[in-house]
Amino acid sequence: MAYIEFDHVIKEYRTGETSIKALDDASFTVEKGELAVILGSSGAGKTTALNILGGMDTATSGRVLVDGCNIAEYSTKQLIGYRRTDIGFVFQFYNLVPNLTALENVELASQICGDSLDAVETLKKVGLTERMDNFPAQLSGGEQQRVSIARAIAKNPKILLCDEPTGALDDTTGKQILQLLQDTCRKEKITVLIITHNSALAPMADRLIRFKSGKIVEITCNEHPVPIAEIEW
């Protein structure tokens, strides 16, 4: 059994008379410790899938297995625990608390789960030794994204879910962030899923999952993923 199994998942959003199938019988797997890149055009269902996998949304039908547990059957309380302990999120616009320093932002995340890593050590790992006492507004976009990655990995999560993590960054900074995510996957042995619009990123993945209109249209496994520095776009 794979570490993550998305099994015939349907997600239907109803508004009044109309309904939209954001996910239409979507199935894919990801193995433990893999870096998966999720590609697909706007509206293809990528964020919906990530939100369901992260316990922020629920499937209309289908099974979502993580480490052998079907989280689609979890109660609200179980989902809260799952989000707190098992999942780290990285968003496009960082979502840092503006009136807390970088260190305090990371400490905040550590406080909500029992098995957390040291906030100072985690900020050092992402290259922010010198900027721990700065507020988000005093940091560049790339530095803010590093804080948000530190915040996510300080929880010591099983899975790191990243929704367009470089969407607000220039190409060079974006590459540094992707390198950090690839290194995190390898060194910390965290399973990492990254949503992107950028097809050029496909070679960095252990596994490429392509969405189209709520369905999975391609799953490719790379025997030899390419370091980010070698990818041009």
Ligand X SMILES: Nc1ncnc2c1ncn2[C@@H]1O[C@H](COP(=O)(O)OP(=O)(O)OP(=O)(O)O)[C@@H](O)[C@H]1O
Among 45, 54, 88, 136, binds ligand X (CB under 6 A): 45
* CB of residue 45 to ligand X, shortest distance in Å: 4
Comparing CB distances to ligand X, the nearer of 127 and 167 is: 167
For 88, residues 6+ apart whose C-beta sits below 8 A from its C-beta are 151, 152, 153, 155, 157, 159, 160, 161, 190
Among 26, 36, 39, 47, binds ligand X (CB under 6 A): 47
The gap between the terminal CA atoms of the chain, to the nearest Å, is: 36
CA contacts within 13 A on the Cβ side of 107: 8
Sign of the Cα pseudo-torsion (203, 207, 212, 214, in order) = negative
Comparing CB distances to ligand X, the nearer of 57 and 183 is: 57
Rounded to the nearest 10 degrees, what angle do helices 141-154 and 171-188 cross at?
20
Contact between 46 and ligand X by CB under 6 A: the answer reads: yes
Contact between 196 and ligand X by CB under 6 A: the answer reads: no
Contact between 44 and ligand X by CB under 6 A: the answer reads: yes
H-helix or E-strand containing 190?
none
Query: Contact 195/46 with Cβ under 8 angstroms?
Result: yes
Number of residues that bind ligand X (CB under 6 A): 12
Contact between 20 and ligand X by CB under 6 A: the answer reads: yes
Contact between 93 and ligand X by CB under 6 A: the answer reads: no
* CB of residue 28 to ligand X, shortest distance in Å: 14
Comparing CB distances to ligand X, the nearer of 13 and 93 is: 13
Query: Which segment (44-52, 81-89, 105-113, 133-141) binds ligand X by CB under 6 A?
Result: 44-52
Query: Contact 45/58 with Cβ under 8 angstroms?
Result: no
Rounded CA-CA distance 232/226 in Å is: 11
Query: Which segment (1-9, 12-20, 109-117, 173-181) binds ligand X by CB under 6 A?
Result: 12-20
Contact between 141 and ligand X by CB under 6 A: the answer reads: no
Query: Contact 126/188 with Cβ under 8 angstroms?
Result: no
Contact between 62 and ligand X by CB under 6 A: the answer reads: no
> Token pair of 124, please?
């050092």
Among 43, 127, 141, 167, binds ligand X (CB under 6 A): 43
* CB of residue 168 to ligand X, shortest distance in Å: 13
Rounded CA-CA distance 170/177 in Å is: 11
* Residue numbers at the binding site for ligand X (CB under 6 A): 13, 15, 20, 22, 40, 42-48
